[in-house]
Amino acid sequence: MVHQAGVPVFADIDRELYTLDHTDLERCLSDETFAIMPVHLYGHPAEMDEIRAFADEHDLYVIEDAAQAHGASYKNDIVGSIGDVGCFSFYATKNITTGEGGIVTTDNDAVAEQLRMLRSHGMANRDQHVTLGYNYRMSELNGAIGTAQIDRLNRFNERRKEISGRLLDALDDLNWLQPATVRDYVEHAYFWAPFEVQTEKIGMSGKEVWENLREQGVETRHRYNDPLYDQPVFARHRGFNSDFPWSANPNDHDYDLSLPNVEAVVGSMIGLPNHPNLTEEEIQYVIETVREFDTVAQVR
């Protein structure tokens, strides 16, 4: 967004889903608002009906961040097809990969043409550069890998869902490990098998739990220790080694925020292993290790 001279305005998250809280959109709205960017975090779709309705009411674009949600769906609509634009990552840890890179989806011909130019140095044809652009062209080799991966996506996601379900069921009685909510009208992609560490019940932070489980050989994920609005690039308004694009925007964007739901969960989320290639022995080891850790932690 900042690369395209846009200024981020941060909304709070839904406390149960960890996705965009549509009830906070009105607070964020201004005459300069151009688009809403919901993130389908951990593979669970955001509440797209409400987001789409708000966007339509105020003539805004919806740009879906589906980087963690390949194959997820919301009320039978595949994510990335609900908004005006969908963005997918093919980084090595994602549900499918091309090694690196990503794709953008849209059914808007004008947007698609702009994206094609942005992808290749702003070129409209071999002779004319009509806008600024980048070298974002995917190689044929990466494309071939991605095509083969797409054929495997449903199988991969079903396996991720199966493993995640087993973890959720097997660890359901641990009062310090809260599984994420899953709405019954979505198809979850389970990029992670996400759990929220209840720090006050175990006396440890999410990062401490992550470190302890990794020491026991459980490749646990732990991200998002700080809110985005606390990141230096935003807090200092330094996008291009200057205060642009904030200086060009008529509204004052103060990132000295305290969004209550963000603050409540920041640093507390962990993801247990759910890779589709996990063996039965490895799944059982994860379950047993977390349960053993629970016993040790409770007597600290």
273: domain CATH number?
Answer: 3.90.1150.10
| Same domain? 61 vs 177 | no
Task: Give pLDDT, residue 299.
Answer: 45
| Same domain? 161 vs 290 | yes
Tell me the percentage of the chain whose pLDDT exceeds 70. Answer: 98
- Count CB-CB contacts under 10 A for residue 90: 21
Tell me the percentage of the chain whose pLDDT exceeds 90. Answer: 84
Token pair in block for residue 112:
């698609």
| Same domain? 275 vs 181 | yes
pLDDT band at 242 (very low <50, low <70, confident <90, very high): confident
CB distance 268 to 176 below 8 Å:
no
- Count CB-CB contacts under 10 A for residue 86: 23
Q: What is the pLDDT of residues 168-185, one digit of tens each?
A: 999 999 999 999 999 999
Q: What is the pLDDT of residues 7-29, one digit of tens each?
A: 999 999 999 999 999 999 999 99
Average pLDDT estimate for 195-203:
93
Q: Nearest CA to 287 among 189, 185, 164?
A: 164
Task: Give pLDDT, residue 149.
Answer: 96
This prediction has a pTM of 0.94
Average pLDDT estimate for 238-263:
87
| Same domain? 119 vs 196 | no
Q: Can you give the CATH number for the domain in which 121 is found? A: 3.40.640.10
| Same domain? 208 vs 287 | yes
Q: Evaluate whether residue 257 is within a structural domain.
A: no
* Domain membership of residue 110 as a residue range: 34-151
